[in-house]
Structure 1
Amino acid sequence: MNATISNINTPAQPSAIKVAGLFNNLSLPDSVNVLGYDSPSGTIQPVNRNYHFRREIVREVFEFLNEPDGDALMLTGPIGSGKTSVIGQVLSRLNWGCDSITASGNFTFDTLVGHNTLMAPSPGAQPVMKFKYGVLPKAMKHGRILLINEFDYANPSEMGGLNDILEGAPLIIPENGGEVIHAHPMFRVVVTGNSQGSGDKSGLMPGIKTQNPAFLDRFRITEVPYMNPEEELKLCSSVYQMIPEDILRGYVEVANGIRVQFLGDETSAPTLSTTMSTRVLLRWIHLTIAFRNPELSSMQLALDHALLRRVDHEDRAGIRKMCSDTFGDQWTKAI
């Protein structure tokens, strides 16, 4: 499904959106209004009607969108916990456009701003030098969300280029004749990452960098942990209604067992080098159905295809043992 893109020549207008009934599993009172737009204001993530919202996370996102008070928002949590999807699904219901980018080791502040490039004004015409805007000036001009995924993969000196913008200063683009861009009142900055900007102390996430405290000081922090088992079971049941709940409960139990051994806890160190996100869990269930065959162990084949072929032999054996203990004879059969 393609994203929805509004016509920038007829810009959407900011509006107070009544959110009662818009957020699937949440019962929100009629009195709750959240800023948004009366029609799509840019690129909008397709609405997932099965999406399971968590009240405590949505509450903090709503408050930020309504009144950022000079702050940016950081969504932080373990691998595949739903950081990007939750902000995307909230914004899609509010018609609030999002200009997004994923950071990397080669990420620079200029990547956000844009660059001069040769472009032909029409097919076959002589190329001319023209400035191509990046996601930052687009979001600032049109009152959209700037979303930087995996922000902690970027060099802290490059991320620091946002400091003045977060303080309310205009963006000045010397490469485009000194153009000055003032932020639209609906402009917001959101980042996602696994480390809260403090670096990777586990050694399991190569490439993550410690960010500058002055940059981090400008953020509110919203934690996005994995769903609790009952929430995740409800989600799986809503998507795969044809599978008995006791079988789905086994899937969720395995997923949570893997996460505990990946993250460790107060009493034990991590023993697995891989985890199972909700995304992988749903993939595993989907593939089990797709591979259904009386001559195959579809659950095992599906797990191999969904996850195990990218983990080492020791972790693979441990996860298979966990599945065997959880499912018993069902582990060797098709559903």
Structure 2
Amino acid sequence: MSDACPDHAVAVRDVFGIDSDLVVPAFGERDEHVPEIDEAYRFDPDVTLALLAGFARNRRVLVQGLHGTGKSTHIEQVAARLNWPCVRVNLDGHLSRLDLVGRDAVVLRDGQQVTEFQEGILPWALQRPVALIFDEYDAGRPDVMFVIQRILERDGKLTLLDQHRVLRPHPYFRLFATANTVGLGNVNGLYHGSQRLNHAQIDRWNIVASLNYLAPEEEAAIVLARVPELAGKRGSELIAAMVRVAELTRNGFRAGDLSTLMSPRTVISWAENVGVFGDVAVAFRLSFLNKCDEAERQTVAEYFQRCFGRELAESYQQAVPA
């Protein structure tokens, strides 16, 4: 795969249904690192064009948005339609600089134990036509972030000090990242573990795209595609009401009435749990309501009542005084 190059081009208008004349390089054959195509996925036009610019023009693209908007999946689904190999790395607090760059390890050669340098994911990907995605970019440790900062430069070279080597990126290596904040840290209490990022590093990203929740009809279509057993008029009405509840929680979050909001991922879980428990209220409680602060459950229960015309026990509970 290290010598592979895109061998044809695809028209964005034909493949993604976006009104653009952009033509993007693509691979003719898939390999094991190419994500599977999700036919139900809905593309945000602006974010898709930003990602396609990353693939076509080697732009470093950072996708920012609230949880559950499908940031990483969006990148993967663009890569899947280009047959572009793609690898995701989660920058959790346990990922170290050695994990990223590589380390010396004892291996067995001809019956003898020898010390040998084992490449980390970064030098491995840098030398191949791979789209590398850093998930939870704003949760990375400082020592890890400064390694990444070097490859965000225009030339993107990586120096392996222990090996006395300088790695030049493959012409079709691409770099993406996803974040819940744009380096601002845990300002609203939703994203514990998020770090404030060095502004010089944020400045090195060529494109910063913002991915918001889909329009209600688009979100309902995705839920229905994920839970096909709800197909039909009654199921469509049920899903539409679920999405309305989710919209109310998001509006409540923006207004400061709630500290928790319902993501599309949670709506899908709710719809799936309706099939498990056979009751939309029970499924709602187990999928979302129990995650909420006790002082806010009455408000959330009122959202449910407004959309479904059914009372929950939480509707009658008094909010706990602060």
Task: Bin the TM-score by the shorter chain.
Answer: 0.7 to 0.9
**3-state DSSP of counterpart to 1:195:** coil
Instruction: Give the whole-Å Cα distance in 2 for the aligned partners of 1:51 and 1:121.
Output: 47
**TM-score, normalising length: structure 2:** 0.85
After superposition, where does 1:89-128 map in structure 2 within 5 Å? 89-120=77-108, 127-128=113-114
After superposition, where does 1:1-335 map in structure 2 within 5 Å? 8=1, 12-19=4-11, 21-23=14-16, 26=17, 32-40=22-30, 43-68=33-58, 71-120=59-108, 127-167=113-153, 168-175=155-162, 177-219=163-205, 220-239=207-226, 240=228, 241-242=231-232, 243-262=234-253, 264=254, 268=255, 270-292=256-278, 298-329=279-310
Contiguous gaps of at least 5 residues in structure 2: 314-322
Instruction: Give the whole-Å Cα distance in 2 for the aligned partners of 1:15 and 1:210.
Output: 41
- 4+ residue segments displaced more than 6 Å: none
Instruction: Give the whole-Å Cα distance in 1 for the aligned partners of 2:22 and 2:60.
Output: 22
Q: Structure 1 stretch 149-158 or stretch 92-101: which is displaced more?
A: 149-158
Deviations 1:148-183 (A, max 9, x none): 1001011345312223222214222233x3233210
**TM superposition shift of 1:306:** 2.1
**TM superposition shift of 1:28:** 5.8
Contiguous gaps of at least 5 residues in structure 1: 1-7, 293-297
Instruction: Give the whole-Å Cα distance in 2 for the aligned partners of 1:21 and 1:289.
Output: 36
**TM superposition shift of 1:188:** 1.5
Instruction: State whether residues 130 and 173 of structure 2, in contact with CA within 8 Å, keep that contact through their aligned partners in structure 1.
Output: yes
Percent identity, aligned pairs only?
A: 25
Deviations 1:101-159 (A, max 9, x none): 1112343333221222234469xx65543322222112111121121100101134531
Instruction: State whether residues 148 and 192 of structure 1, in contact with CA within 8 Å, keep that contact through their aligned partners in structure 2.
Output: yes
Instruction: Identify the structure with the greater helix proportion.
Output: 2
**TM superposition shift of 1:205:** 1.5
Instruction: Give the whole-Å Cα distance in 2 for the aligned partners of 1:22 and 1:290.
Output: 36
Q: Give aligned pairs, total.
A: 306
Q: Structure 1 stretch 139-148 or stretch 177-186: which is displaced more?
A: 177-186
Instruction: Give the whole-Å Cα distance in 2 for the aligned partners of 1:248 and 1:94.
Output: 32
Q: Structure 1 stretch 229-238 or stretch 218-227: which is displaced more?
A: 229-238
Instruction: State whether residues 117 and 129 of structure 1, in contact with CA within 8 Å, keep that contact through their aligned partners in structure 2.
Output: yes
**TM superposition shift of 1:329:** 4.2
- Residues 27 and 195 (structure 1 numbering): CA distance in 2 closer, same or farther, change over 3 Å? closer
- Residues 33 and 15 (structure 1 numbering): CA distance in 2 closer, same or farther, change over 3 Å? farther
Deviations 1:61-96 (A, max 9, x none): 11121113xx41100001111111100111111111
- Residues 308 and 119 (structure 1 numbering): CA distance in 2 closer, same or farther, change over 3 Å? farther
**TM superposition shift of 1:100:** 1.8
- Residues 210 and 309 (structure 1 numbering): CA distance in 2 closer, same or farther, change over 3 Å? same
* RMSD, aligned CA: 2.5
The one-letter code sitting in structure 2 at the alignment partner of 1:319 is: V
**TM superposition shift of 1:245:** 2.7
Q: Structure 1 stretch 312-321 or stretch 132-141: which is displaced more?
A: 312-321
